[in-house]
Structure 1
Amino acid sequence: MAKVAFIGLGVMGYPMAGHLASKGHEVRVYNRTAAKAEQWVAEHGGSSGATPREAAEGAELVMVCVGNDDDLRGVVLGDEGAFAGMAAGSVLVDHTTASATVARELAAAAKERGLGFLDAPVSGGQAGAVNGVLTIMVGGAAETYARAEPVIQSYARMSRLMGEVGSGQLTKMVNQICIAGVVQGLAEAVHFSQQAGLDGLAVMEVIGKGAAQSWQMDNRHKTMLSGEFDFGFAVDWMRKDLSILLEEARRNGAQLPMTALVDQFYGEVQAMGGNRWDTSSLLARLKPTK
């Protein structure tokens, strides 16, 4: 068992930290809203720190799951950041979906302090976090990953080292490119079936047993048909991720016309007031919700 700190108790981090505690690890948590950390301790045991630095003191592994690059820098760097509390030889595992640039920046800062660093964004959504079946794509040194992997497995169905620092974030970008295309295709398919006067539920159940099947179809077609979009990863978060990957594409020369178009469509959903709707709300711009 390990002494672990977990920084960031949002919809993903809260259950992820809970799995660490349930597996017997000694966990100290930090959250910007202290009441959330107190709630977690009341539910799972362990302890909380008043700052990221305090939470990280004495931890062999420090897990972080926050919102974006700036949030990440805010809890890791500075006098009260996690790095300031970590002892040489300990490892920071960043589960934030962020840029490969910030991953490399933090890895360099960690190296100067004698610390290990892994960028390890996750896929699987809130349900995957709650059920402990996340997919985790990791960038960093093999020996650093080997130390962290047994603890990461507390909430993972699949975890794999993808290459050097930054490779985890780049792999997550590939994941989001795929999701953007699949959800747009599903939205158009649902819309077409409704416009054609078909039984949308029957259509999805039939084609879902063939080559068109996807996780998105299996888990979202019923709510999409009902015009309900409150069941997962928010549009605001998806646009943040798409912004990061489109910027990376401009750097590396990748051509992503479909992804850029879907990003614009999500902008239209935001203009409709759908910032907190889930990503399947691409359907809403094709047909008004009920």
Structure 2
Amino acid sequence: MASTNPRQYEPSPARKVAFLGLGVMGFPMAGHLALAGHEVTVYNRSAAKARDWLKEFKGRAAPTPREAVAGCDFVFCCVGNDDDLRSVVLGELSALAGMKPGTVFVDHTTASANVARELDGMAQKLGLKFIDAPVSGGQAGAQNGMLTVMCGGEPAAFDAVKPVAMAYSRAFTLLGPSGAGQLTKMVNQIAIAGLVQGLAEAIAFGQKAGLDMPQVLEVIGKGAAQSWQMDNRGKTMIDDKFDFGFAVDWMRKDLGLVLEEAKRNGARLPVTALVDQFYADVQAMGGRRWDTSSLIKRVR
């Protein structure tokens, strides 16, 4: 990434930061922070991944979250789920145990709104700040430094961290108090789920009808049917290619969060619940790591 990334970084005073979690999203996000001139310490559950990061970027690695965050102004995190998040935030060797008062913790994990509120409350008791900040844009967005970040938390903490986080963001927006970022990400996933199913049915229908589907998508993509999914996944859906992108397993995790929250707030999500079961069918077909556009395989 360091040799090919064309990203131009907004001027921002160099800050001492930590990044916890170097998966497909966190690895390049932490890299953008280093390339933007910040002093970055990374932590990953697998130390080998941290060593790989150090081969590509300037910074240092720490063996525990507590050591990684020592003396930092901002701590960023991107892990798998609520339990993974608690494992790096809570406990004797965790982030909260090592952060100095006033430090802002920015969580990019797609997690529940409940865990965001829980950790925000704990942070406040320790004189710390917590921002829930799930992202949209996928692995490509992380690599290109062009993520859309949806935030919940206190305005002052948000304003403080935004100039630093813009190293990997094209939009970094405060949407309300603690939990609002996670709830906005749920809205995003609800919209995507129904859209991808509709696109899958449309392409499968066109193929059954004998149409030239690349030409069809070229035409309807200039009208009201146009979407990011059509522009970026239409051709690969036609070609039956799914070995990339946002995995079905990840989408089912996200939709599980959505459906659990809907039970709590009373929202009716019949289409989302149905598409979640369609993704379960794709998992049963062996598509756990296929891109979410693989919904088309079950309608062909």
TM-score under structure 2 length normalisation: 0.95
Displacement, 1:231? 2.1
Match for residue 203 of structure 1 among 216, 224, 228: 216
Q: 1:92 aligned to 2:92?
A: no
Q: Equivalent pairs: percent with the same residue?
A: 67
Displacement, 1:197? 0.4
Q: 1:215 aligned to 2:221?
A: no
Structure 1 segments unaligned to the other structure (5+ residues)? none
Partner of 1:233: 246
**How many Å separate the matches in 1 of 2:182 and 2:96?**
20
Partner of 2:276: 263
**How many Å separate the matches in 2 of 1:71 and 1:98?**
10
Partner of 2:30: 17
Number of residue pairs the alignment of both structures matches:
287
**How many Å separate the matches in 1 of 2:93 and 2:213?**
54
Match for residue 288 of structure 2 among 272, 275, 278: 275
3-state SS, counterpart of residue 130 of structure 2: strand
**How many Å separate the matches in 2 of 1:193 and 1:52?**
52
The CA deviation string for residues 112-156 of structure 1, in whole angstroms up to 9 with x for no partner, is 111000000000000000001100000000001011111111111
Partner of 2:62: 49
RMSD: 0.6
Letter in 2 for 1:117: F
Displacement, 1:257? 0.4
Match for residue 137 of structure 1 among 150, 160, 179: 150
Match for residue 80 of structure 2 among 67, 78, 83: 67
Partner of 2:5: none
Partner of 1:106: 119
Structure 2 segments unaligned to the other structure (5+ residues)? 1-13
Letter in 1 for 2:95: A
**How many Å separate the matches in 2 of 1:215 and 1:20?**
27
Partner of 2:20: 7
Partner of 2:4: none
The CA deviation string for residues 224-272 of structure 1, in whole angstroms up to 9 with x for no partner, is 1111111200000000000001000010000100000000000000010
Q: Which runs of 4+ in 1 moved over 3 A?
A: none
Displacement, 1:69? 0.2
Match for residue 123 of structure 1 among 136, 141, 158: 136
Displacement, 1:42? 1.6
**How many Å separate the matches in 2 of 1:225 and 1:101?**
39
3-state SS, counterpart of residue 154 of structure 1: coil
